[in-house]
């Protein structure tokens, strides 16, 4: 199981967040006033208007960005726990399209193994 580690966003993280959400003015959650510690949770919960907008924003990521984001997920530095199930489905489909089904299955397993969501909430791969 991957353990999510609290972290402060790096310059690379901030650059990527601004790429995904150019309107991002601060690095704190408006609801909790806590600093962002990951990229996909604020993107899905604060900046996108719907699933299509989320998918459109993911398309801004190039191969290098995706490799970086996937490495953060695999190491446990990028938390997926606050990403709503329907958004993680879009992300996993995006990973499958860009990087293959094996990696998509691995990301799905990371998402569900953290017990941060109920696996019944999302469609299995």
**Which residues are CB-contacts of 87 (< 8 A; sequence separation ≥ 6)?**
40, 44, 48, 51, 54
Phi and psi torsions of 38, nearest 5°? -150, 175
Residue 78: CB atoms within 10 Å? 24
What's this model's pTM, rounded to 2 decimal places? 0.82
How do residues 2-45 score in pLDDT, each as one tens digit?
444 467 888 999 899 999 999 877 665 555 555 568 899 999 98
Q: How far apart are CA 44 and CA 57, in angstroms?
A: 10
Q: Between 60 and 6, where is the model more confident?
A: 60
């Amino acid at each position: 199981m991957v353990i999510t580690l609290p972290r402060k966003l790096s310059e690379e993280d901030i650059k990527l967040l601004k790429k995904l959400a150019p309107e991002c003015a601060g690095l704190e959650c408006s609801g909790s006033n806590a600093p962002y510690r990951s990229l996909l949770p604020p993107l899905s919960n604060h900046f996108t208007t719907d699933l299509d907008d989320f998918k459109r924003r993911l398309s801004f990521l190039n191969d290098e960005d995706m490799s970086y984001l996937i490495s953060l997920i695999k190491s446990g530095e990028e938390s997926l726990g606050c990403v709503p199930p329907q958004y993680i489905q879009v992300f996993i489909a995006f990973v499958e399209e860009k990087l293959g089904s094996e990696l998509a299955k691995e990301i799905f397993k990371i998402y569900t193994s953290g017990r941060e969501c109920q696996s019944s909430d999302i469609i299995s791969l």
